[in-house]
Amino acid sequence: MNDYGIDIWSDDNFIIEDGLAKVNFDCKPSLISIVKDIRKQDFKGPLLLRFPHITKKQIHTLYDVFNASIKEYNYQGTFNAVFPLKVNQLPNFIHPLIHEGKKFNYGLEAGSKAELVIAMTYNNIGSPITVNGFKDKEMIHLGFIAKKMGHNITLIIEGLNELEMIVEVLKETKLECPNIGLRVRLHSGGSGLWAKSGGINSKFGLTSTEILEAYELMEECNIVDYLTMIHFHIGSAMNSIKPLKKALRESGHIYAELKNLGATNLKSINIGGGLAVEYNAYERTRFYSLSEFASDVIFTLKDIAKQKGVDEPNIFTESGRFISAASTVLITPVLELFSSEYELDQLKLKEKNPPLIQELFYLHRDMTKKTAYEYMHDSTDHMESLLTLFDLGYIDLQDRSNAEVLTHQIIKKAISFLEINDYGELKKLNESIQEKYLLNFSLFQSLPDYWGIDQEFPVMPLTHLDKNPTRSASLWDITCDSDGEIPFDSKKPLYLHDINLNEEDYFLGFFNVGAYQDTLGMKHNLFSHPTEVNVVFKDGEVVLEKILESQKIIDILEDIDYDTDDMKNILRKNLDPEIYKDLKKYLSENSYLKTIWSYYE
């Protein structure tokens, strides 16, 4: 049976039981039962299911593992963490996170004015806020206002001009200065797809010379006491821990040197994000555990503090992907299987058929388990010859259609004879036997990192997991763009089930989509965010909360600045009232396709 690599990527959050993908928590509901409940309320199209209990588990794990390591090494600093809002700013994700984080003093990181406003409004007072990224005077002023509200906020300086602006705002507003952090530009870079966030050529941070200049400027302006934090971030999704160790040594020494210069309130090192999650269904790509990660951070910083005779720093992390990725599952209904166009009842043989078509007919009729592979191979050869004969005008359209139907049926029959162990043989024929699964979603909206940087996501059907999947699958989305495809990859083959959608529904789940995808997604073809639902557990039952339906067509149009009243007037004027009534109904629906047939209703 194919388990779709669940042991590699699911971290026990999801399991396969009785042929169904289930949530491994509380009453262990199957994902299909949750989907059925939502669809009963007439929410069709793709769904984003959020599981706040998984976010909670990740927050607890992060703090527990770091605190255990602190205890083990008798480390004198504390562990602190913030969630970087850029990784997922949406309220349905953020509100439960802030609620769960309260007991740990878990805070937020902001990288823009809008994110800072979210943090100022909702962060638990006393929990840290860190502010990264390029800032103007207005953003710095916002930081001062947050401080005035009582927030524990640190403005992390990316360049000397930001420090100068802090001094200006301080003079102009007479508000109390927030804490100041210095982002250091390390010479050690990261690893993995996003490594360019670190290293000497990275976009962010101060060089050694700039750090010393910044320190002098702070001394001159009498604000050294506000310097509390050194920050670095070597890139997201580190697959190896080695670059982090180098970065820790480098930043640890910078911290110690600044302390020895007289930065008495400098007490923290913020190591940014970068903790990876497993997306791969075939082999592990993250080569360290969280405990190893925490031990390395604590051991290295302890060692440097001892060597340089300074206090052991408090540790801050800004892990985003680790906290949020697993919490969200994208569910896409399969709308169509393209080879279903070639069913046997579409075969219209003539009295007298071209010899190759007659041959295809016999291959199909006489195939046995023993001859399956050979006949399948013969059929694809014959098909190619028949296409050439069509181009030369020797066979007609009906012959060509018969050839297509027979070849697909031969392949289908052969696959049903081949056992799962014969995948090696199947792989050889991938090109000709691929099935195209049309999925009701937009890849650009819901998996933008697949489109942008080839980030793979684990995918698995929600049902039929006790049956052998026999079709090598290419996945198509419903955008009018040929990039909206996840093609079959023979190195990481995806096999799905041969489903008759006239008899039953079939849904695929894409897992670990809770980091970065939600707001990076774009409205290509004007497909908006899918309907999202928070799935929570109360008294052993599933409760669906905060159902947020995908945007209505008319609202999408308004969002891109169409005058929708004007549009409605034009349409109304040009249609008779009865027909306009139908049209109006469509304007207030979302733009995803409605599944034509629904077995579960």
Other CB atoms within a 10 A radius of the CB of residue 248 amount to 26
Q: Which of 100, 158, 278, 318 binds ligand PLP (CB under 6 A)?
A: 318
Catalytic residue among 27, 177, 221, 480, which? 480
Q: What span, in angstroms and rounded, lies between the C-alpha atoms of 484 and 481?
A: 6
Instruction: Give yes or no: 221 in active site.
Output: no
Is 354 in contact with 389 (CB distance < 8 Å)?
Answer: yes
- The residues near 73 (Cβ < 8 Å, ≥ 6 apart) are 295, 298, 299, 302
Please report, as residue ranges, which positions from 195 to 224 form the binding site for ligand PLP (by CB under 6 A). Answer: 197
Q: What span, in angstroms and rounded, lies between the C-alpha atoms of 65 and 88?
A: 23
Annotate each residue in 224-243 with x if it binds ligand PLP (CB under 6 A) or - if it does not, as one string. ---------x--xx------
Number of residues that bind ligand PLP (CB under 6 A): 18
Q: Which residue is nearest to ligand PLP (CB)?
A: 273
Helix, strand, or coil here: 403? helix
* Minimum separation from the CB atom of position 362 to ligand PLP (A): 58
* Minimum separation from the CB atom of position 483 to ligand PLP (A): 24
Place of tokens 């006949």: 375
Q: Which is nearer to ligand PLP, 182 or 237 (CB)?
A: 237
> Which one of the spans 316-324, 503-511, 537-545, 592-600 is the region binding ligand PLP (CB under 6 A)?
316-324
Question: Binding of ligand PLP at residue 458 (CB under 6 A)?
Answer: no
Q: Which is nearer to ligand PLP, 87 or 459 (CB)?
A: 87
Please report, as residue ranges, which positions from 347 to 406 form the binding site for ligand PLP (by CB under 6 A). Answer: none
**In Å, what is the CA distance from 511 to each residue of 244, 449, 583?**
27, 13, 36
Q: Strands 128-131 and 435-439: what pairing?
A: unpaired
Q: Which is nearer to ligand PLP, 109 or 399 (CB)?
A: 109
Please report, as residue ranges, which positions from 580 to 599 form the binding site for ligand PLP (by CB under 6 A). Answer: none
Q: In terms of DSSP H, where are the helices of 353-396?
A: 355-366, 372-391
* Minimum separation from the CB atom of position 291 to ligand PLP (A): 17
* Minimum separation from the CB atom of position 317 to ligand PLP (A): 8
Q: Which of 320, 333, 461, 530 binds ligand PLP (CB under 6 A)?
A: 320
Angle at 124 between CA 165 and CA 51, to 5 degrees: 115
> Which one of the spans 135-143, 269-277, 471-479, 538-546 is the region binding ligand PLP (CB under 6 A)?
269-277
Question: Binding of ligand PLP at residue 410 (CB under 6 A)?
Answer: no
Q: What span, in angstroms and rounded, lies between the C-alpha atoms of 4 and 279?
A: 12
Angle at 86 between CA 81 and CA 88, to 5 degrees: 85
Q: Which is nearer to ligand PLP, 520 or 567 (CB)?
A: 520
Q: Which of 77, 84, 101, 189 binds ligand PLP (CB under 6 A)?
A: 84
Q: What span, in angstroms and rounded, lies between the C-alpha atoms of 386 and 380?
A: 10
Angle at 467 between CA 466 and CA 468, to 5 degrees: 130
Q: Which is nearer to ligand PLP, 210 or 589 (CB)?
A: 210
Q: Which is nearer to ligand PLP, 323 or 360 (CB)?
A: 323
Q: Which of 87, 139, 281, 415 binds ligand PLP (CB under 6 A)?
A: 87
Q: Which of 250, 158, 261, 272 is nearest to 215 (CA)?
A: 261
* Minimum separation from the CB atom of position 202 to ligand PLP (A): 10
Tell me how far apart the 2 most distant CA atoms of the chain are, in Å. 99
Angle at 525 between CA 520 and CA 531, to 5 degrees: 60
Annotate each residue in 104-123 with x if it binds ligand PLP (CB under 6 A) or - if it does not, as one string. -----x--------------
Is 5 in contact with 281 (CB distance < 8 Å)?
Answer: yes
Q: And the tokens for 434?
A: 């691929």
- The residues near 381 (Cβ < 8 Å, ≥ 6 apart) are none
* Minimum separation from the CB atom of position 152 to ligand PLP (A): 18
Which residues are known catalytic residues? 480
**Which chain residues interact with ligand PLP by CB under 6 A?**
84, 87, 109, 132, 197, 233, 236-237, 272-275, 318-322, 515
